[in-house]
Structure 1
């Protein structure tokens, strides 16, 4: 199985320091939806792992989060692709859960869902340290995109072996170039 794990805000859709709270604010980064569809059509399994503390903060509810994810899935399906699994953490930073990145809980859920012992070698695409570190805990390969908070993240020390790309479309171009 060719599996990839994507962060959502800042990788697939535009991020906001004020949180993405509704369908109008959920705006795809140019080329991201098409990139996911291209990977899917090339036989890749697509998983999304996303911190969504806006739920715990009362900025939006689970129904709105589901609606945003349905919008994302619909847009990918319209391009001929699919997202195979979406996992989210609805907790706040002080809730002490095991799923909020940089903890690896969502990545364990993804591995278990696909009956894998770990995520050894699986590309983990994110725009922040917490995305990259959470994936590394289960053996994932870190890919940083410069969209979202990526440029800020690039200013600090990256985990060893991190590959850096302009955006998700560039990651997909790289993954598909010799296949």
Structure 2
């Protein structure tokens, strides 16, 4: 299993694909979404607007792909994670789908290295340990049968997420 955990800023990681924890509008927001749009530049926003014009908003659990603009990557995959509402609105399945659909899109585009943030653990308030378990499970299951995706990097912006992911990955080894 080739999953690595890093502490830092996802917008500074050199990779094939950076995953954006987007909102349904695809037009930028706060947190990692705002940083990716701000640093990536107007090219990302323009492509997101074209996607919105052709398909409408991005649904929770779905993913779309754009160029990476000024980011140190080839592409950005925008996925919409769920807002945590106590676990009674299918949030776990929706978060799993955010990872799975991002990985499927990477596979479809023959991507080898994909870099994820901790989707939904910021302002969407998804419990961090539960989210980490879901992400690692989705990624490890996907990597078993993947033809193109060979390496996944989880980039944690805070110490708590980093420590949780490190501990969970050590259990998998």
TM-score of the two chains, using structure 1 as the length reference: 0.43
More helix by share: 2
- Kindly indicate whether structure 1 or structure 2 has the higher relative contact order, using CA contacts under 8 Å at least 6 residues apart: 2
TM-score using structure 2 length: 0.44
